[in-house]
A and B are shown apart, each in its own frame.
Chain A
Amino acid sequence: MPLAVDVAVRVRGLTYTYPGSDVPALVGVDLEVGRGELLLLVGESGSGKSTLLRALDGLVPYYYGGTIRGTVEVDGLDVGGRSVGEMARHVGLVFQDPDRQLVMSRVDNEVAFGLESLGTAPDDIGARVDSALRSVGLEGRGGDFTSELSAGQAQRLALASVLATGPAVLALDEPLSQLDPDAAGSFLELLERERAARDVAVVMAEHRVGRCLPHADRVVVLRGGRVAFDGTARAFADGAWDGIGASVLPPLSQAFRGAPPVPLDAASARERVSALAREGRLSVRPRAQATAGDVLVRCSGIRFAYDGGAEVLRGADLELRAGEVLALVGPNGAGKSTLARHLNGLLRPSAGRLEVMGADAAPRPVASLARDVALLLQNPGDYLFERTVEDELRLSARLRGLSGAAAAAEVARVSGELGLEPHMGTFSWDLSAGQRQRVALGALLVGAPRVLVLDEPTRGMDVAHRTALAAILRREAASALKSVLLVTHDVELAGLSADRWAVMEDGRVVAEGGPSEVFRDRPAHAPVLWRATEGFVMPRGALCPAEVVVRGGGGP
């Protein structure tokens, strides 16, 4: 049967199993995507999103092997029996990590690479490269090194490279996961513009559902390799469908699920809140406020410059108190990560003073400071090099000077708290990114350091992981009386976990305090629910869905 003209992708009864696996990654998936349509693919890590995207151009099964049943048609062509190279003309695939997809050293050569591979006439390549770079806002950057681009620019370059070959379908695998909010916003706008201009079908897997939903026409939820939901973005947001937990729903859906239709962005949410508040149907029930204890870390007037460069920190002041989670937010390049690396001595200030546990930290080496300050950097895999998870924790115990029964007890305590018991015998590198992060966190928490610092812990992680991490952080602060510093662009994670906020701009902490004090002047750092509810409800705007109470409800 010939394909209808307006259908770009048609998947029928797709079941696929990776080689060496007993469990299929996709089970009986049916899917259609029209030209010019943006389909958002939602699901937890391991639910089959990436696998489905790779089935569109034949990487699954031709690159990965494994067994496949069912049919995939793209642009009127049956993918089965065609090579990946042939499908590359019809499907443009963009991956999450720029470092894992850029091939050439020069920006314009990168765009030309795909065109050359597909045998485009040399005389046409130049014009196509120029136009693709122009459409992603990289005109004039053709001669630059790809390694000098920011993550946002690199991701736009990856998009330009596939747009240049004129595909009918764009398949994007978590393209925003490595980007900060600004870069993610401009990538989404770019995508919106290009899909309209080129009438290209877009299939995008993303964890930042709330961010993408206003741009999406349809949503497909995958769970355990099956399609759990297939419908309009509106129907998805309302959450009025069976078989799904709240874990994949964006915050606005979680909060307003009881009073549909759910608003999709902060502006329309404010209108809803205003109406609900007038009817007296909305209130905010703030979570328990931490009682801050002693100051465990004090930064005063810290200055720092990487060798030869301009000053990154220009007199930063910050206090971390026992029992509270402090969120450190601010634009890229403000110095947040640099400040975090001072707290355990990885970097040393050129001026100013750092006090840890009430004493000057300057004379203490990193190995000593690490006993008081646990610093979790962005890539958890960097922490792991022993054979198994248990070995990792045992090594940490040894580094803290624990042995015998004391070591075993401490390892058991940490693995229990973080839920690592089922993985103790697993090779760390066989775990998912989220699990690896938990192992790295465990390795740091052995010996019970009083201060925990995390740098962008949710980059590339799914929503369920964010919720679980927030719970861990609140527990560490509240019951273990730790001081937690959370350096993040993820305003929702901060909303779920923080007691206090500090904003860094231009190498200094320019604002700090409770949500109301900080967000009023800087709403960009506020969770979407705070932006929606602030000013309408008492005692303060809501920080997370659990704080919003909608009464009456039902709807029309």
Chain B
Amino acid sequence: MCAVLPFYRDRGSALHRLHPGAKLALALGVLVASLLLSHPVYLAAIIAGTVVLAAGARVLREWWAFVRLFSLVAVTVVAINALASMRGETVLLEGPTLPVFGRLAITWEGIAFGVAMAMRLLAAVSAFTVLSLTLHPDELTRLLSRVAYRSGLALSLSARLYPVVMRDAAAIVDAQRSRGLDLDSGGRLARARKRLPVVVPLFHSSLERAVGIAEAMEARGFGSGPRTRWRPRRWRIIDWAIVAFPVLLCYTATLVRSLDGAPSYYPTVELALDQFTVIWSLALFAFVAGPAVLREGQPGGDAPGR
């Protein structure tokens, strides 16, 4: 059950040992670049880069477990766009004419645009999955503690309690089945609806726990005065060097966008495709995947979580 959300895995890779800020920069770089670009080839290059990152951090299996789930969402994006977009020229399938919406039609352009949007989403989700798998929740707290300690703590507490809540939920399902509630029969929807009662005890126990933790924090002096920070993470040269990659990535993406212009999907798909496309794609791929080349032998620094 715990495998549903990408949760930190301690694989001790060089990526794991980067400054949390540097890891965050990598993910943000991918996000910005994929927002700037909408050419499927470029987006594919970026996605391929994140796969290499996941492999470099030795979290490929966990990465795939989540991204595979997410690809369902991506398919839905494509389908909805294909159905809802009415502006394409190349009609593949014509439907009835509806009031307000007008003529329903599935167009090649609608599908192509949907695919590009799904890829954009996938690139960002993929990068943040890698981040989530390599960023220790305590690191997140410490990272955010400069800006907003309490929000950071809230985030990291939810990360800490996630497995606990999952365990609670499993125990509640066991208890209710033991009462004789039939949670197993019926279709997927019926089964989901039958599990609604689980929410009541889960809500109560989570609430009781939240109050308990708040009390325990208070009792340990939380919020009583200025905090000190143990083992503050220092930026090493390697961390700065790594940040160069997302910077270059965003710079390239901006450059590509200004040179190529945004690709146009409507009324007909017009995508630039020449030797420059290939060169730019390789550059984008390299700037995403580059940090994965880091090896343990290189100046690594502290263990994760510090």
Contact = CB atoms under 8 A, between A and B. Distances in A.
Given A103-B216, A103-B217, A382-B201, A377 B228 contact: no
Contacts of B232: 122
A376 B185 CA distance: 23
A346 B182 contact: no
Interface string A84-121: 11101101010101011111111001001111111111
Contact of B164 (A57, A99, A381): A99
A162 interface: yes
Contacts of A396: 179-180
B136 A105 contact: yes
A339 to B, nearest CB: 14
Interface string A433-464: 00000001001100000000000000000000
Given A88-B221, A103-B217, A119 B180 contact: no
Nearest to B222: A117
A122 B217 CA distance: 19
B224 A399 contact: no
Interface in B198-226: 198, 200-201, 204-205, 208-209, 212-213, 215-226
Contacts, number: 187
**A interface bracket (residues with beta carbon within 8 Å of B):** 35 or more
Contact of B215 (A63, A86, A105, A375): A63
Contact of A89 (B182, B205, B221, B230): B221
Contact of A100 (B213, B221, B227, B303): B213
B220 A366 contact: no
Given A85-B221, A161-B220, A399-B181, A383 B212 contact: no
A84 B225 CA distance: 11
Interface-centre pick from B10, B172, B229 (highest chain A CB count, 10 A): B172
B152 to A, nearest CB: 12
Contacts of A84: 218-219, 221, 224
A106 B176 CA distance: 33
B94 to A, nearest CB: 49
Tell me if B's interface is mostly helix, strand, loop or mixed: helix
Contacts of B296: none
A112 B161 CA distance: 19
B4 to A, nearest CB: 15
Contacts of B212: 95, 97, 100-101
B303 A143 contact: yes
Contacts of B184: 365-367
Nearest to B161: A99
Given A376-B178, A382-B171, 7 more contacts: A104-B138, A112-B231, A121-B228, A374-B178, A377-B171, A378-B171, A382-B168
Interface of B: 8, 10, 136-138, 141, 153, 156-157, 159-161, 163-164, 168, 171-172, 174-182, 184-185, 197-198, 200-201, 204-205, 208-209, 212-213, 215-232, 303, 305
24 contacts: A85-B218, A93-B216, A95-B212, A100-B212, A103-B160, A104-B138, A105-B8, A106-B305, A113-B220, A115-B230, A117-B221, A118-B225, A119-B228, A126-B231, A344-B178, A346-B177, A367-B180, A367-B182, A370-B180, A379-B175, A383-B175, A385-B200, A399-B180, A429-B204
Interface of A: 57, 59, 63, 83-86, 88-89, 91, 93, 95, 97, 99-106, 109, 112-122, 125-126, 129, 143, 146-147, 161-162, 165, 341, 344, 346, 365-367, 370-371, 374-379, 381-385, 396, 399-400, 429, 440, 443-444
